[in-house]
Structure 1
Amino acid sequence: MFATYYDASAYFSANFNGNSLTNADIQTPDSLINVLHFSKLYISKSDTLGINSVIKRENEFKKPASNIINIGNYPNPVWIKTIVPATIDMKAYSNILIDQPRLKQAEVYFVKDNQVLKKIQYNNYTLVASVKTSGNLKTFKIPRDIAALNPVIYIKLHSDDVVISPVFISKASNLLELFSLRDVFFGIYTGIMLIMFAYNLFLYFSVKDVSYLNYIFCVLFTWLTQTTIQGYFDKYFYIDNLWFNNISIILFSNLGLIASILFTKSFLNTKKNTARLHKILNILLVLTVISTIILFMGYKKVSFIGMQVSIFGGSIVTFISALNAYFKRDFKPAGYYLVSWSFLFIGMMIFILKDYEIIPYSIFSMYSVQFASVLEVLLLSFALADRINFFKNQNELAQKQALLVLKENERLVREQNIELEQKVNERTTELQNTNSSLNVALTNLKDAQSQLVDAEKMAALGQLTAGIAHEINNPINFVTSNIKPLQLDIDDLKEIITKYEQVDYSSSDVMEQIQEIEAFKKQIDLEFINNEIESLLTGITDGAKRTAEIIRSLRNFSRLDEDDLKPIDLNEGLHSTLVLVKNSIPDNVKVIKDFGNLPKTECLPGKINQVFMNLISNAIQAIKSNGKERDEELLTIRTWYEDDHVKISIKDTGTGMTDEVKHKIFEPFFTTKEVGEGTGLGLSIVFSIIEKHKGHIDVLSEIDQGTEFIITLPVNTQ
């Protein structure tokens, strides 16, 4: 239907000579016809000019320069005088269609022999007489008795928005089909946008990335802008406020622009990658905010100009920023950003060129902006996901490099340790005489030990990398495996909807069509599909929650704020550490958590987490190496508050220690592990950290009975 209408419109544009139309000029009886092909225009100099005065100004009507009218170019109403050619049956083409929802005023007069036969009007967003609306369509029904007289039609249009207003005559059947198709396309577009909004909102709450927050506002205000432009906002969210209806498009556009600028800044990291363009974006952001404030003050046209400047400038700046990030900074997710922006630009160009009949009207050209915005939303969602993977790969690469450095340092330390032992054996007598010098050297060694704290923490993180990757991979695989069956179930539901939409209720066999649909529902087992969808969504949610918990625990453990004392919940730190070491805990080990009600303790969070990691890892290692294959081993972690101090107990059922070993465990480089399995720095670092916090650590251990470390920390180190 759209194709025939637009082919006819293009034909009139090329062939109509202004006098008459032949039957050959109408390509199909189902066409919608642009009345501007056989109309004249009069630009009124007063908004109070009546129809009788306009009829007398016959000589002032001029042939239009194009087949569309930009109503916003004129401060006063525009009058259209239309004489429908005799070759067109007005009884059949009995509807006048105005394809623009932002009109402030639309009046239609039917005139015969300079006498007004009938008037129909649409004014100030209030429906009057026989005006009908659907989305952005407004129709005026031509009475059959008046159509038989072939009257002259005068149309008065007025709006203070910058809007283009095509005017057509059509058959009722064409309008019904047009209304239905536009509602369907709007529903599909809205469904996709709302799904992407909800999906990215869920991701924001999972990863807490501000880029997702800015992006969901981009999606929301893009949808609101398009909904308002298409006229559906007034239809479904009717607000009985003329002032708000007048500013809604510019308001939603400005808010969407603000969200887009914030998203671009956070996604492309313009502050770091393109400092100069970052400043320009800040200027455009301030300009847009000012433009929005001006809009509320009543300066609508000034705000509209400010919005256009911001959109034009922002488009150029963001495009250059994306190019710079992709090619110079090797930021691959920016490629999705460039492609999405290109699609949106092409969609807007197609939509504009369609209005000027440079390209044919079609469903694609009518909804090119919506199509492009859907593609943009999808591609930017991919870009956000790729951005997470990009940073993840960078972090993994950095961790691998750090691990290599730490292994090299460990090798050097081990070699130095062996060499030191040889020298000690060779020079025992000499060293006894220089005991005071050794004490000084020991003091220096302890100072060096404190510098190795961070290195030891990164080594522990490196050892946990494989386990964490395995932990994250399980819920991600579960989510991935649920997507395909979920898509198949959704396709079945969509097919049912399609069958309902195809039911011809005017047909005599409508019950047979309904029965066919019911048979199809039984065939695919609709109840099972509904239950399966709920089950699949539950599985996806559980997998996402598990992944978020692991990421949150890793982030909590690896805080880089060691230089600042902060009050924290030690129970939370213990919980995060247990999540990270979960993969290294044997199946026969039962973890008992007895966490008391602790006040917030002032400490260095990263350092304390490192203490927990070292002690829990040692406990697990002790259980693994006890040489007994018992059905159940215990790892007990207990916390309590006592005399302005918090106490943490970490107890295992491992090998235990002799008194001799127990007295040496806090010495630097002392270890009972095999060569290559430990540096001998872990417990030394633990002791140093606890001492720095003005606390102390006690050790209770017996051979074959296990070991218990009890940490005591003051709530306030001051």
Structure 2
Amino acid sequence: MGYTNVRDNHDNIVYFDNTEHNILLNRHISLYKDPSRSLPIQAVQKQVFTVYPKDGIINLGATKDNVWLKFTLQNNSNDENLYLLLQQATIDEAVIFVEDAKGEILIDTLGKYKPFEQRKVYAPDYIFPIDLKKDSIAHIYLCVSSNDQMQLPLYVGSEKQILAKMSTKNLLFGLYAGAVLIMMLYNLFIGLSTRNGSYIYYIVYIFTVGLTQAMFQGYAYMYLWPNSPWMASRSSIIIPFFSGLATIAFIKTFLHTKTNTPKLDKGINVIILCYFVGLLVGLVDVFLGTIVLQTMASLGIIYVLYVVNQIRKKGYRPAVFFLIAFTLFFTCVIAFVLRNFNIIPYNAFTAYILEIGSIVEISLLSFALADRINFYRKEKEASQAQALRISQENARIIREQNVLLETEVDKRTKDLKKTNESLNEAMYNLKQAQAHLVESEKLASLGMLTAGIAHEINNPINFVTASIKPLSRDVDQLIETLLVIEKIALKDISIEEKIAELEHYKEDIDLSFLKEEIKSLLKGIQEGAFRTAEIVKSLRVFSRVDEDDLKLADVNLGLESTLVILNSMFKDRIQIKRHYDEIPYVECFPGKLNQVFLNLLTNAFYAIDEKFKGKQGGKITIRTYYKEDLVYISIKDNGIGIKEELKNKVFDPFFTTKDVGEGTGLGLAIVSQTVAKHNGTISLLTEEDKGCEFIIKIPAVQSQSSDNSVKGEDIQSGEQFLSK
């Protein structure tokens, strides 16, 4: 490396007297690097040291070796209390070995791995007291190690001189910290006044920038975590990580990168990911993590400058200020990195290059935020002026349109009156047509009902009629038999002859057959009369005339009466299965409910006829049961069924699957309305070619107003009727 090998060199002696200020020790220092980081002082004393070849601050860049500094100090002053100052707070550990003329070695250790309170001098940098009498000589060895860049500004001086130098540093950093605090308070006030979220991100950004510089200068360890060596040793990773995230968050919010440059915004997200990678690496290996984060910071700033420039090209004014501020700060960061890599010298200016750059950047960004407020204010004033012009123009247009509108409204009002009259007339005609169709449906049901009743009554009547003539003949023959018996009884013959004659006559008229025939004819007439009475009784149950009053009725009885009336439609070809549970009397409109049964059974007969064409095989299952205060009525057939796409239309008025002329499409609509009137529901389960099942649910007791409530006499009359 161009160093001069030395054992004892006169140039390594530092002469300290009262005439000089604190002495920079670079040209008096010789170096030795210990890659093993484990050599004791006794072994190091035997090693060959090399003289640092450059002027200025010792800058060794990034190295993981233990670096040993060696020089000889001769005190020519009257001050016996000297101090050695290593003005680099980022050094992890510094151990001093002082060998006096007697050969005794004094040791003092400072660094991030020891609590701050153990330092003999309360200062952010490393200060070692050296007691050296006048005209005495001491050989000093200083072992330093760091996971960060290793710059070694090393000074020796009296207490006054060293404290004066530290006071200068404290003053400069105090000014810097004051400027940061003022900027934070200023932007906090503006942010609260404008309620702009960008200021919150900016305040966090300013805080992390200031905290980063406090960490580099040693004040963070001194004031924030003096008893946490772990945090002190990893603060060079953690704090720049959060500072980078805060910077990116502010950039994304301030420049609206997701809106202005959506594709480039994804690259910024990649930078965030890289920062997390650097953090994880740094928590494991601080030295490597520091290099990764510094590299990511440099590359990230270049990319951000490119993004900002693209946004500037789109005419976004705040990007101009941002570009200038970040360009200046980036220049300072580059200088800082070049200083760390020993490309540019370490001096008083480059020592504070980041503080200078951050203050300039913070100030310019504050101006950018203020300029954006002015921009928004001007934009708002322009928009308000534009809105005023538009509102005035709109007012003029509205006045003109109002005149036209009033004329048009008058015209439209007359047209609406005519249209309303036409609609009223059409509504009246529609109601008339609806009433006519409903009446037609009722007449159709009545016709079908009449035909069924006529057929049912006609059979027993015909039987009675057919029995009258033979019964009359048999009665006449009986009367004639009585006359013959009377004549035989009056004859003057013996009893034996009378008996013989009577026996002969009985054989001639076949009296036993005559008795059986009369008995059979009377029985047939009796059955016909009974069947007729049953039909009349069922008709009375079915055709209840109390339509406007709720009554208690037996649903099972209503179903049976409906089946009696419709007997002619299914007799001998459709099997009826009845499953009637014991259910309570239902509070209902019996006549209307029977009409529901009639319509559903009629549809079932039609569906079965369509499938079986009048042949055997049809089956209808009727089931009733009671559950949770509801009466369930199920009517299921095995007819043609209904297609799935038509299932939801069956209860619509005028919808029918029958051929033209065979149905009005009102039957199931009336069923649905009647069930709804009973506060019930009706549902359909169907499958094409397999049949339909209609399930009715109605409450046993209607929860209606007092107008529809069941009176005591109604219940009594209902029970009397049902008992008949």
TM-score by length of 1: 0.51
Q: Is the 8 A contact 2:180 2:359 kept in 1?
A: yes
Alpha-carbon distance in structure 2 between the residues aligned to 1:194 and 1:148: 49
* Residues in 2 aligned to 1:376 and 1:231: alpha-carbon distance in whole angstroms: 22
Q: CA-to-partner distance for each residue in 1:610-659, whole Å, 9 max, x for gaps?
A: xxxxxxxxxxxxxxxxxxxxxxxxxxxxxxxxxxxxxxxxxxxxxxxxxx
Give the corresponding residue for 1:191: 178
- 1:154: how far off? 1.7
Q: 1:434 to 1:179 in 2, by over 3 A?
A: closer
Matches of 2:211 and 2:335, distance apart in 1: 21
5 Å matches for 1:434-473? 436=418
CA distance 1:292–1:349, change in 2 (3 Å): closer
| Alignment of structure 1 residues 505-544 onto 2, 5 Å | none
- Work out whether 1:393 is the aligned partner of 2:378: yes
1:110 corresponds to which of 88, 92, 98: 98
Structural mapping, 1:357-376, within 5 Å: 361-362=347-348, 365-376=350-361
Shift of 1:416: 3.8
Which runs of 5 or more structure 1 residues have no equivalent in the other structure? 1-17, 441-718
1:178 aligns with 2:168: no
1:52 maps to 42
Seen in structure 2, the aligned counterparts of structure 1 residues 371 and 61 have a Cα distance that, compared at 3 Å, is closer
Matched, 1:311 2:301: no
Are residue 168 (structure 1) and residue 168 (structure 2) matched? no
Identify if the C-alpha distance between structure 1 residues 262 and 434 changes in structure 2 by more than 3 Å, giving closer, same or farther. closer
Report the Cα distance in structure 1 between the residues aligned to 2:119 and 2:212, rounded to whole angstroms.
28
Instruction: Give the equivalent residue in structure 2 for 1:243.
Output: 230
Q: 1:266 corresponds to which residue?
A: 253
What is the 5 A alignment of 1:312-327? 312-326=298-312
Q: State the 1:19 CA deviation.
A: 5.5
Letter in 1 for 2:249: L
| Alpha carbons 1:214, 1:259 under 8 Å: kept | yes
- Over the matched positions of the two proteins, sequence identity in percent amounts to 27
Report the equivalent of 1:39.
29
Residue 288 of structure 1 and its aligned partner are, at CA, apart by 1.6
Letter in 1 for 2:204: F
How far did residue 218 of structure 1 move? Answer: 0.7
- For residues 140 and 311 of structure 1, the distance between their equivalents in structure 2, rounded to whole angstroms, comes to 34
Alpha-carbon distance in 2 for matches of 1:283, 1:354: 28
Q: Which position in structure 1 is the counterpart of 2:490?
A: none
Letter of the 1:56 partner, please give it.
K
Question: In 2 relative to 1, CA 56–310 (structure 1 residues): closer, same or farther, beyond 3 Å?
Answer: closer
2:140 is the counterpart of 1:150 = no
What amino acid is aligned across from residue 382 of structure 2 in structure 1? Answer: L
- Residue 403 of structure 1: CA displacement? 4.1
The separation in 2 between residues aligned to 1:347 and 1:267, in whole angstroms, is 22
Q: Which runs of 5+ in 2 are unaligned?
A: 1-8, 423-724
Aligned to 1:278: 265
| Structure 2 CA distance for aligned equivalents of residues 418 and 127 of structure 1 | 87
Alignment of 1:337 onto 2:322 = yes
Deviation at 1:239, TM superposition (A): 4.1
1:311-336 per-residue CA deviation (whole Å, 9 max, x = no partner) reads: 1222112222322333x222222232
The Cα of 1:283 is off from its aligned counterpart by 1.0
What per-residue deviation string (whole Å, max 9, x for no partner) do you get for residues 307-359 of structure 1? Answer: 22331222112222322333x22222223222322332344456567786956
How far apart, in 2, do the equivalents of 1:259 and 1:244 lie? Answer: 20
Within a 5 Å distance, the mapping from 1:549-564 to structure 2 comes to: none
Paired residue type of 2:167? S
Tell me if structure 1 keeps the 8 A contact 2:329–2:357.
Answer: yes
Please give the alpha-carbon distance, in whole angstroms, between the structure 1 residues aligned to 2:309 and 2:197: 22
Distance 1:352 1:89 in 2: 40
CA distance in 2, matches of 1:206, 1:436: 62
CA contact (8 A) 1:200 1:381 kept: yes
Which residue is 1:81 aligned to? 70
Amino acid at match of 1:80: L
Alpha-carbon distance between aligned partners in 2 of 1:29 and 1:282, rounded to the nearest angstrom: 58
Match of 2:126 in 1: 138
Q: Larger radius of gyration, structure 1 or 2? A: 2
Cα offset for 1:22?
Answer: 12
Decide whether aligned partners of structure 1 residues 437 and 312 sit closer, same or farther in structure 2, where only a CA change above 3 A counts. farther
Confirm or deny: 8 A CA contact 1:47 1:76 kept in the other structure. Answer: yes
SS at 2:151 equivalent: coil
Alpha-carbon offset, residue 98 of structure 1: 0.5
Q: Map Cα deviations across residues 33-71 of structure 1 (whole Å, 9 max, x no partner).
A: 22221221111133221112111123x545456654456
* Distance (Å, rounded) in 2 between the aligned partners of 1:134 and 1:141: 13
Pick the aligned partner of 2:363 from 378, 393, 396: 378
Matched, 1:98 2:96: no
Partners of 1:46 and 1:219 in 2: how far apart?
A: 41
Distance (Å, rounded) in 2 between the aligned partners of 1:80 and 1:335? 48
Shift, 1:20, TM fit: 4.1
After superposition, the Cα gap between the structure-2 partners of 1:168 and 1:424, relative to the gap in structure 1 and judged at 3 Å, is closer
CA distance in 1, matches of 2:413, 2:241: 79
Q: Residues 19 and 67 from structure 1, CA distance in 2 versus in 1: closer, same or farther, beyond 3 angstroms?
A: farther
Q: CA deviation at 1:194?
A: 2.2
Measure how far apart 1:77 and its partner are.
Answer: 1.3
> What is the one-letter code of the residue matched to 1:54?
V
Cα distance in 2, alignment partners of residues 209 and 261 from structure 1: 17
Aligned to 1:252: 239
